[in-house]
A and B are shown apart, each in its own frame.
Chain A
C-alpha cells in the first residue's frame, strides 16, 4: 500500500518537516519528478570540445553520457546498451568514434543510433528502433540541461532569472565564455542532497561552521562576517528555486572576489577593458561572479562550477571544478588553488560543511520534526519583478528553494 505524501503539509511558508531529508519514499519521488520529469543540469559544452569527446555523468538514478556529435551538436544519452542494459561507457571522459558494448558488441553512433549488431541474421528487428535513449536537451551559454521527456515547462521558462546569473559568470571572460577543463573533484557527503543547495546559499552559517576559517584566513569573505548591520551581502530568491548570496555590495575594491587587485592582475584588466570598454569592464571586475544555485543541481560557486548528485536518501556527492575564463589562461593556476582551498574534501570550507550536514542527517531522524526557516520573513522585500531580497543572514534563499521544490513535487512545474 502506498501512502501519498502531503507536500503542502511537509513544506510550509516558514518551516519544513525533517522527513523531507530522511524519508526514502520522498527520495524515490524526487528521482522521478526532479531528475527525470524536470529540467536538470548535465554539463558544459567546453567539456566536450571535439567531435567524439564525451563525459559520463550520473544524474539522479541515471547514468548519462554527454557527447559532441560529428555535426557539433551536443547529445545527452543514457549510458546503457539498448540490448541487455550493460553500461556502455565505463570511463569518466575521453574521445570515441562510436560507443560499443562489451557484452555482445552492439555499436552505437555519437547520436545514439544503433549502427551494428554482430551476426545480424538472428536479429530481425529494425535497428532504428533500438538506438540509445536520448534526452531532450537545451543549452544556454554552453551550460547543457536535459529532460527525459517532452518538457511541460519550456527551457526559457525553467531558467527564468538564472540566465542573468549565468551571464554574470560568463561575462567575466573577455571572450564571454567559460572553460571547464580543470577536472572534477568529487566529495562524498553522508547527508541528503538537498542540504547542499540549501547550505550553499545560506549566509547565516558562515560565522559558526567556518569560524576556524575566518580566524586564520584573510579572504574576500572577511567583509561579510561580524555584525548583521555591517554586513552588506544580499540574499536573493530569483524564483524557480534559483537562489543567491550576492557579495557585490560588500566588496571594497575591484577584484576583491579574486583575492587580487588591478595592479596584480594587469593583463586580465586590460583584456576586459579591450573587450567591453573601461566602464563596463570595470563594473564586471568589481561585481565579480555569482554565488547562486540553479535548481535543482547546479551551483555557480563564484569561480567554480559545482554539481549536486543525489545517491540515496542519506548520501550525495558534490562535484566541483574551477571556472576557467576563456582568454585569460594566466589566471588558471590561481583559480585551481582557490578551488581546492574552498571546495572539495580537504578544503578549508567544505570539509566542515560536510561534517555539519552529516550531523544534521543523523539528528533529523529524531525529536521535533520541524526545521524553522522563518528568519527574515518579515523584513524581506519583494521587488517589482517578483524577486525577493533580504539581508545576507536571512533564510529568503532557503524558502525560495523549498517553495519551488514543493511545486515540482506537487507536479505544478
Chain B
C-alpha cells in the first residue's frame, strides 16, 4: 500500500518539469498585465455604483444623528460635505481618488506623513486611513476563512469520494440528504438555531468568537478551550454550505468518472481500486472544484457577511456592508477593489492549477 502511495504521488505530480514551457510563462505574464486595465474599469464601475443610492455619506450620517436627537443646520451639513469633498462634481471625485491610488508624488502631505506613494484615502465613518481599517480586520478574516476552507475540503473530499464509490448505500443516502439540507439552509438561520441550541443546552449562547476575557487578554492556553468551543458554531455555519456544495459537486463528478472506460483498463492491468479512485477518477473529478477555488481567493478576503453579522464576528464582510450602507465611499471602494483584484488573481491561479491538473487544457487551451 505504501508503495502504491508513492507511486500515486509520483504519478500525480508527473509532468511538472515539462510544464515550464515558455508559452505558459508568457501566458501568465499576459494575464497579469491584463488585470490592470480591467481593474481600472472596475474602479470606475464601483465608484458609480456606490454612489447610486440617493444621498451620500453626509446625508446618512445626518439622518443617524437626527434620529438620536442631534440638530444640524444646513450650513453645517454643507460644511461637512465640503470637508469630505462630496460637493465636488462626480468625475472630479473619481479622478482625485484613482489618481491618488495609482501614484501619489513625494511632495504631498500623504507621502510625508505615511511614506507611501499610494493614497487610498480615509474612511469617513472611522476617520482613519482606509488601509488601517482594512488591516485591523484582515487577520481575523483571512485566518477564520482559511481555516474554514481547509476544514471544508478536508471533510468534503473523503465524504464525497466515499459517497460516490458506495453509491446507493445507506451512507450515500445519508450524506446526500445532509448535503441537500446543508446546501439549502441559509447560513444565518443555521447560526440562529445553533445559538439557541447552545443557549438551551449550555446556558451560554456563545455570542461572538471572543469572550470579553479573550478580548482583553488575547487567546492563550488558559482560554483555548473556550475559544475552541466558540469556534464550533462559526465553523458549522460558515462551512456547512460550502462543504455540502463541494460534496455534491465532487460526488457527481466522481460518479461520472468512475464509469469511464479507462477505469476498466486500469483494473485490467491489476491496479487496486483505491489507486484507481484516487489517481485517475479523483484527479479528473476535482476539475470544477479547482475552478471554484478561483473565486474563493476573494472570498478569503471578505468572508461571508450575513452569517458573520448574526454570529457577531467582525470580519471584512460586515465592514463592507456597513461602509456600503453609509456610503463610506473610499473604504467600500478600496475593499471592493481588493476583492476584484483577488478574484482576477484567483481565477488566474485556478486556470494555472487546472492546466497543471489536466493536460488537455495545457495544450488545447480549452476543455475536452
**A in complex with B:** no
Residues of A within 8 A of B (CB): none
Residues of B within 8 A of A (CB): none
